[in-house]
Structure 1
Amino acid sequence: MQNTTKRLFLGFSVKKTLECQFFDMQQKLTLYINTEALAVLQSNMHITLGFLGQVKPSCIPALLTEVDALEKPSFELVLSAISCWQKPQIICLQGQAHTPLLTMASQVQQIAAKLGLHQSTYHYCPHLTLFRRASCMTLPQQPVMGLNDLLPVNVPVSQLHLYESYNSQSGVQYDILHSWPLVPDQ
């Protein structure tokens, strides 16, 4: 039976050079976390703006129209802390959302509500996931040698993407379905 919905989210990609830096962080953390944890593939590294859930293909044109109308300022995000989130079982690099990013995240939630899509029950916190299925108990209490030298990471963001998440033979895959340029401050 063919899947009649797509698992979608809006987010920001990261530059290839930063993917390599994040991969280096994963390698340093690997010795300290549970063996069931799954490292996020470099090609899947991104910063989520809003998870939309299972979306019917017939709803996608309206979603694109709504996102077209969003104000989309470019920004630089500073990821400054390694965090472990127990409920989603992830280890991530976490940053602080400034007003333009918080505004965009709020507008995405409004779009989701308008279109009857998934809405987050959590306050928006920008992050880049390094590991999924991670037990938070295993995140080291002491700084990992060489890891603090890699923080903070400045992530310049210049495009917003609509991603589809799906399972493939090689694991979870994130494909970009549509992109929008972010507009530099005038």
Structure 2
Amino acid sequence: MSIRRILIRALECGEYLLTRLFVGLKIPEDIREELLSLCSGLENVRWVKKENFHITLQFIGEVQKSYLDDLVQSLSEIRFSQFDLTLNGINFFNSTRLIRSIWIGIREKENLIRLHSKINISIEKAGISFKRRKFMPHVSIARFTRQPVSRFQDYIEGNALFSSRSFTIENFTLFESVLKPDGPIYLTNTTFPSR
């Protein structure tokens, strides 16, 4: 078979198609409802949809679909025990004094940091390169379309004491992120249980 025919066949099979991936934790329904109650009262904001609330453990980025099987296999080898988390406090990310997003913090981080490290090793083992950044676990609830003009400081101070109930992490998920004009859609690719 000629190289041209091999490439055509690979394209037809989707082997060179890209998918946008990240590894994260799903948040229980009742806590997503609590987070949703925080999503109002500011202008120039794109609030995160309730179904999209999550904790990112590692953003991978665009990956050839042909790597998916190896990635799933590598992630499935991770061993971790169940652990509890509590969402706590509200803050924001900024760069050069421009506010980019609002997020909710996490009280217990040690188990998350260990799981994050294991996930990074598994991604590398699957032969996928990704950008490493300082890990700061959080739940994003808003992204700014323009800089907030009014009520921003009042909003942050008014929600500073937010705290969820404690909840148990029993698994983590490989998500596919599909970008749409009205915001991303996060599809579950594979869920990996604790063991």
Task: Give the alignment's TM-score, normalised by structure 2.
Answer: 0.78
The one of 39, 55, 76 equivalent to 1:68 is 76
Cα 1:12–1:96 change in 2 (3 A) is same
Q: Does residue 80 of structure 1 match 2:88?
A: yes
Larger Rg: 1 or 2? Answer: 2
1: CA distance, partners of 2:67 / 2:162 = 41
1:21-170 equivalences under 5 Å are: 21-27=34-40, 30-31=41-42, 35-87=43-95, 89-114=100-125, 115-122=127-134, 124-133=135-144, 135=147, 139-140=152-153, 143-144=157-158, 147-148=159-160, 150-168=162-180, 170=182
Contact 2:63–2:128 (8 Å) recurs in 1: no
Task: Give the alignment's TM-score, normalised by structure 1.
Answer: 0.81
Shift of 1:57: 0.7
Aligned partner of residue 178 in structure 2, secondary structure: strand
Contact 2:87–2:164 (8 Å) recurs in 1: yes
What is the CA RMSD across the aligned residues, in angstroms? 2.6
Shift of 1:155: 3.5
Contact 2:88–2:162 (8 Å) recurs in 1: no
* Equivalent residue number for residue 5 of structure 2: none
5+ residue gaps, structure 1, are none
Contact 1:80–1:93 (8 Å) recurs in 2: yes
2: CA distance, partners of 1:175 / 1:162 = 9
Moved more, 73-82 or 51-60: 73-82
Contact 1:96–1:126 (8 Å) recurs in 2: no
Cα 1:153–1:91 change in 2 (3 A) is farther
* Equivalent residue number for residue 13 of structure 1: 26
Cα displacement string for residues 82-119 of structure 1 (whole angstroms, at most 9, x for unaligned residues): 11011492210011453332111112222333323313
2: CA distance, partners of 1:136 / 1:113 = 39
Moved more, 17-26 or 155-164: 155-164
Cα 1:89–1:155 change in 2 (3 A) is farther
Contact 1:112–1:119 (8 Å) recurs in 2: no
How much identity, in percent, do the aligned residues show?
19
Cα 1:148–1:100 change in 2 (3 A) is closer
1: CA distance, partners of 2:86 / 2:186 = 23
**Matched AA of 1:69:** E
